[in-house]
Chain A
Amino acid sequence: MTSTTEPTEPLSVEQLSATTLLRFATAGSVDDGKSTLVGRLLHDSKSILTDQLEAVEHASRNRGQDTPDLALLTDGLRAEREQGITIDVAYRYFATARRRFILADTPGHVQYTRNMVTGASTADLAVVLVDARNGVIEQTRRHAAVAALLRVPHVVLAVNKMDLVGYEESVFAAIAEEFTAYASELGVPEITAIPISALAGDNVVEPSANMDWYGGPTVLEHLETVPVSHDLAHCHARLPVQYVIRPQTAEHPDYRGYAGQIAAGSLRVGQEITVLPSGRTSTISGIDLLGEPVDIAWTPQSVTVLLKDDIDISRGDLIVPSKDAPATTQDVEATVCHVADEALTVGHRVLLKHGTRTVKAIVKDIPSRLTLDDLSLHPHPGRLVANDIGRVKIRTAEPLPVDSYADSRRTGAFILIDPSDGTTLTAGMVGESFAAPQPVKDESDDDGWDF
C-alpha cells in the first residue's frame, strides 16, 4: 500500500455490542491485488495494530522490499513465507461501527479449489476480484462457479486496478456485464459489481473521487449493509440433535432436553414435530435458549428442546416440523469437491457425516467430473483427485433425512471421511449442482432421485 487513510475513531462500548456478524470469503490471487484489498480493509478499519505492522515492515525489509508486503500478514506459516504462496485459508477479523466481520481469505490458485470451497462453505458473501486490465478470465469463472456451487447468497465482483485503465466506465461496465451474465446463469442470486483501486483506495472504504459515474456503495459499505439473515418463513426448520441433556439431579429428576444448533428455519413451543429417521412424533413443550426459556428460536441459535412425550431420541437424530419432514433415503446423489490428496474412487468405502450423524457409506458411481473454468462435463472419470468437482452417487448403510443443498445449506451438506485414518476426503452438496442445472446425462441409471 502506498497511501492509507487514518484509522477511524475508536468505537463506543454501545456501538460495539450492537453489531451483527458477517462471514465472507475473498477469492483471487496476489496478482489481482487481493492482499492489498484485504490489507486495506483491515488497516482502514484499525484491525492491523502497530506491532503487527512493525513486524511486517521488519520482515519486508529483511527480504529487500521497500514497502510493507501486506501478504505477510495473512501468510502465517513458515512454508508459505518461504515459498511466497498462500497454502491455507486464513481467517481474519475486523469490525466497524455497524458490523463484525469474519473474513475467510482463500488463495485463488487453481490447485487450491478446496480452500475456496472451505472458505465459501460458511460464507454469507463472496468477494471475487478481477484485474480491470484482464477482465473475466478462467480463474474468475472458477471463482464464480465455486460461489454458485456453495450457494453463497451474495457475490461481490470487485473490478480492481481501475486506476490502470484510466478509471474508464466502459471498461468496468463490460466486465460487470459479462460476469453478471455468467454468474446469474449459474444461479447466483445477488451480484454487486464495484469498480475499485485497492492500491489507491478508490471505493474500498472511501468513495472514489475518480469515478463520478459510479453511484453505488463502496466495498465496505456493501459489506456493512448486506442482509445476513434469511427469510425464515420459507425455510425448512431442522434441528440435528447433538446431545441429550439429562441432569438426573434432585432439582431436575425428569429433565430430558435435546440439545442442538438450529440448522435452518425456526421452531416454536407447541409445534408438532417428527424425529428422523425413526418417524416418531411429539410436540415441543419448551425451548431453552442457553438458560432462558423462549417461545420461538431460530437458526443459528443453539438451544435445548423439551418434548411432551418421552420418546427415544439420541445424538444423530433430526427434529423437524411434522408438516415439513424431508424423506429419508439411503441413496444420495450429490455434487462434491474432493479435498484429500488420496483419490476418491468408485467402490470406496467411507464414512458420511451429515448433521450430527455419521454412517457407513459406499461410493456407487462417479457419473461425471466438472471443469469449473468452462463447466464442461467429463463422463465417468472413475476417480476424483484433490480439487476436483464431480457428481457422485452414494449408498448409505442407514437412511438419512437429507435436504437438497439448494433448500438448506446446513442439512443438504455432508462430508466423507476415510474410516482407516480419519482423513476428511470430500465435501458434498446434495442435489443439483447449480440453480440453473447443467444436467448430468446418465442413461444407465434411472433409479436416482428427483430433486
Chain B
Amino acid sequence: MTTVASVSEETESSPYALSHLDALESEAVHIFREVAGEFERPVILFSGGKDSIVMLHLALKAFAPAAVPFTLLHVDTGHNFPEVLDYRDRTVERHGLRLHVASVQDYIDRGVLKERPDGTRNPLQTLPLTEKIQSERFDAVFGGGRRDEEKARAKERVFSLRDEFSQWDPRRQRPELWNLYNGRHAPGEHVRVFPLSNWTELDVWQYIAREGIELPEIYFAHEREVFQRSNMWLTAGEWGGPKDGETVEKRLVRYRTVGDMSCTGAVDSDATTLDAVINEIAASRLTERGATRADDKMSEAAMEDRKREGYF
C-alpha cells in the first residue's frame, strides 16, 4: 500500500474525513479542471503575490505530469517590488510558461491614462487588464480573490460573468449550486474564475507551509527604508514617496499583501519563517486589507465599485 492523503484527528468516527487543506485543495483543482475542459483561452492573473503563487501551484498539480494548459497575465503597475518581478520571471522560466504583461506605464506614456494626484496606480489597472483580455480573447481569467478578503467579495461567485467591458453586475450573477459551475458566456464576454474563493488568509499560509512553496522574500521580516502615510509603512522609492514632511526610517517589516508599491503597506514584524508568519496572522486583530491596503479604505463600497468596473 502506498500513501494516502493526510487524515485528520477524527479518525475514530470518520476515517475518510479530509483535512481542511485537502478539501480546499481538491475543490480548487476541480475548478481549474472545469475551466480547462470548458474554455478555449484561459489565463491566470499572476502578480507574484502569495495568492497567485498558490493558484499557479494548484494548477501545476491539477494537470501534472502534463503542462499547465493556461498562460499567465501580469498587470504591471510600473511600481513593482523588484523582488517580486524577479520572482515572477524565475517562476515563468522554471515552469516553461508563457507570460503576458499589461503595462500601466505604457498607458500613461501614451496619454491614455493619467497619473492620479495621490500617485496610486491600483485603480489604473482596470483598463490595461480589460483591453488585454479583449485583444488576447481570453475567455476565462483566473483571479486569486478570496471571499474572506472583503464584504463585496463575500458574495462573489466562483464563476463570475463579466460583460465585454469586464464589468461586474452583482444582479446578473448566476446562483451556484453544488459544484455545477456554469461557464456559458457570449462572444466578447468572459468569466472571472476564483479557485481560492473559500480559502482564508490563514489557509493560504498553511498551504504554503505544507507544500513548501517558495515566496518572494518581502513576505518575511526584513529591514527596509519606509515612511509613514495614512497609518501605513510605505517603501521609499521612485514612485513618489516620501513627500515633504514625511521622514524615512529603517524598520523591521514584512508585507502581508503584495500590490502596487504606492498603496501597499508593510507591517512591523519579526516573523522570518513560515511558522512565525502563521502565528502572527493567527494572532492578528486586523484583516490583511485593513492593515495593508490604502485603496480599500476609500469608502464602504470601494471594492464593490472597483469590481463593477472590471477590477480583479
Shortest beta-carbon distance, B63 to chain A, in Å? 6
> Knowing A11-B282, A18-B9, A229-B16 touch, does A290 contact B62 (C-beta < 8 A)?
yes
B36 at the interface (CB under 8 A from A): yes
By the criterion CB–CB under 8 Å, are A298 and B16 in contact? yes
The complex places the Cα of A230 from the Cα of B18 at a distance, in Å, of 11
By the criterion CB–CB under 8 Å, are B198 and A356 in contact? no
Q: B291 contacts which of A21, A51, A95 (Cβ < 8 Å)?
A: A51
Interface-facing stretch out of B26-34, B136-144, B238-246: B26-34
Residues of B within 8 A of A249 (CB): 65-66
Shortest beta-carbon distance, B255 to chain A, in Å? 17
Interface residues on A, range: 35 or more
> Knowing A228-B17, A290-B29, A291-B61 touch, does A91 contact B154 (C-beta < 8 A)?
yes
A19 at the interface (CB under 8 A from B): yes
Task: Give residues of chain B (163-204) contacting chain A, Cβ–Cβ below 8 Å.
Answer: 170, 173-180, 182, 184-186, 197-198, 200, 202-203
The complex places the Cα of A289 from the Cα of B9 at a distance, in Å, of 20
Interface-facing stretch out of A186-194, A214-222, A320-328, A407-415: A407-415
A232 at the interface (CB under 8 A from B): yes
Residues of A within 8 A of B271 (CB): none
Residues of A within 8 A of B108 (CB): none
Q: Which residue of A lies closest to B303 (CB)?
A: A76
By the criterion CB–CB under 8 Å, are A13 and B278 in contact? yes
What does the 1/0 interface line of A10-37 toward B look like (CB < 8 Å)?
1111001111110000000000000000
Interface-facing stretch out of A135-143, A157-165, A258-266, A368-376: A258-266
Q: Which residue of A lies closest to B1 (CB)?
A: A295
By the criterion CB–CB under 8 Å, are A415 and B179 in contact? no
| Chain A facing B: main interface SS | mixed
The complex places the Cα of A255 from the Cα of B161 at a distance, in Å, of 35
By the criterion CB–CB under 8 Å, are B198 and A91 in contact? yes
Q: Which residue of A lies closest to B285 (CB)?
A: A50
Q: Which residue of B lies closest to A62 (CB)?
A: B300
By the criterion CB–CB under 8 Å, are A17 and B19 in contact? yes
By the criterion CB–CB under 8 Å, are A20 and B62 in contact? no
By the criterion CB–CB under 8 Å, are A427 and B177 in contact? yes
Shortest beta-carbon distance, A96 to chain B, in Å? 12
Shortest beta-carbon distance, A19 to chain B, in Å? 5
Residues of B within 8 A of A232 (CB): 16
Shortest beta-carbon distance, B303 to chain A, in Å? 9
Residues of A within 8 A of B116 (CB): none
The complex places the Cα of A293 from the Cα of B3 at a distance, in Å, of 7
Shortest beta-carbon distance, B171 to chain A, in Å? 8
What does the 1/0 interface line of B41-70 toward A look like (CB < 8 Å)?
000000000000000000001111111000
> Knowing A21-B20, A261-B29, A301-B18 touch, does A415 contact B154 (C-beta < 8 A)?
no
B252 at the interface (CB under 8 A from A): no
Task: Give residues of chain A (410-435) contacting chain B, Cβ–Cβ below 8 Å.
Answer: 410, 413-415, 417, 421-424, 427
B4 at the interface (CB under 8 A from A): yes
Q: Which residue of A lies closest to B148 (CB)?
A: A93
The complex places the Cα of A5 from the Cα of B95 at a distance, in Å, of 49
B279 at the interface (CB under 8 A from A): yes
Q: A296 contacts which of B4, B147, B180 (Cβ < 8 Å)?
A: B4
A77 at the interface (CB under 8 A from B): yes
By the criterion CB–CB under 8 Å, are A353 and B182 in contact? yes
The complex places the Cα of A349 from the Cα of B300 at a distance, in Å, of 43
B23 at the interface (CB under 8 A from A): yes
> Knowing A91-B154, A242-B34, A296-B4 touch, does A10 contact B282 (C-beta < 8 A)?
yes
By the criterion CB–CB under 8 Å, are A422 and B175 in contact? no
Q: B37 contacts which of A252, A315, A409 (Cβ < 8 Å)?
A: A315
The complex places the Cα of A413 from the Cα of B275 at a distance, in Å, of 41
The complex places the Cα of A242 from the Cα of B33 at a distance, in Å, of 6
What does the 1/0 interface line of A51-62 toward B look like (CB < 8 Å)?
110010001000
Q: B178 contacts which of A50, A122, A298 (Cβ < 8 Å)?
A: A122
Residues of B within 8 A of A49 (CB): 284-287, 290
B135 at the interface (CB under 8 A from A): no
By the criterion CB–CB under 8 Å, are B5 and A289 in contact? yes
Shortest beta-carbon distance, A97 to chain B, in Å? 11
By the criterion CB–CB under 8 Å, are A424 and B182 in contact? yes
The complex places the Cα of A218 from the Cα of B283 at a distance, in Å, of 25
By the criterion CB–CB under 8 Å, are B290 and A424 in contact? no
By the criterion CB–CB under 8 Å, are A422 and B301 in contact? no
A443 at the interface (CB under 8 A from B): no
B210 at the interface (CB under 8 A from A): yes
Task: Give residues of chain A (346-395) contacting chain B, Cβ–Cβ below 8 Å.
Answer: 351, 353-354, 356
A247 at the interface (CB under 8 A from B): yes
A109 at the interface (CB under 8 A from B): no
By the criterion CB–CB under 8 Å, are A294 and B30 in contact? no
By the criterion CB–CB under 8 Å, are B29 and A77 in contact? no
Q: Which residue of B lies closest to A255 (CB)?
A: B65
> Knowing A19-B8, A251-B65, A315-B37 touch, does A121 contact B178 (C-beta < 8 A)?
yes
A343 at the interface (CB under 8 A from B): no
What does the 1/0 interface line of A88-119 toward B look like (CB < 8 Å)?
11111101000110100000000000110110
By the criterion CB–CB under 8 Å, are A243 and B37 in contact? yes
Q: A422 contacts which of B1, B18, B184 (Cβ < 8 Å)?
A: B184
By the criterion CB–CB under 8 Å, are B2 and A246 in contact? no
18 residue pairs from A and B, CB less than 8 Å apart: A10-B283, A13-B282, A18-B9, A20-B18, A20-B23, A49-B284, A77-B170, A90-B151, A95-B200, A229-B14, A229-B16, A249-B65, A261-B27, A290-B64, A292-B3, A297-B4, A414-B180, A423-B174
| Inter-chain pairs besides A51-B287, A51-B290, A297-B4, 13 sampled, C-beta below 8 Å | A10-B282, A13-B209, A20-B8, A100-B20, A118-B177, A243-B33, A245-B64, A246-B66, A260-B33, A295-B4, A301-B22, A415-B180, A422-B161
Q: Which 4 A-B pairs have the closest CB atoms?
A: A422-B184, A51-B290, A76-B151, A247-B66
Query: Could you list which residues of chain B lie within 8 angstroms of chain A, going by C-beta atoms?
Result: 1-5, 8-10, 13-27, 29-30, 33-34, 36-37, 61-67, 147-148, 150-155, 161, 170, 173-180, 182, 184-186, 197-198, 200, 202-203, 206, 209-210, 275, 278-279, 282-287, 290-291, 300-301, 304
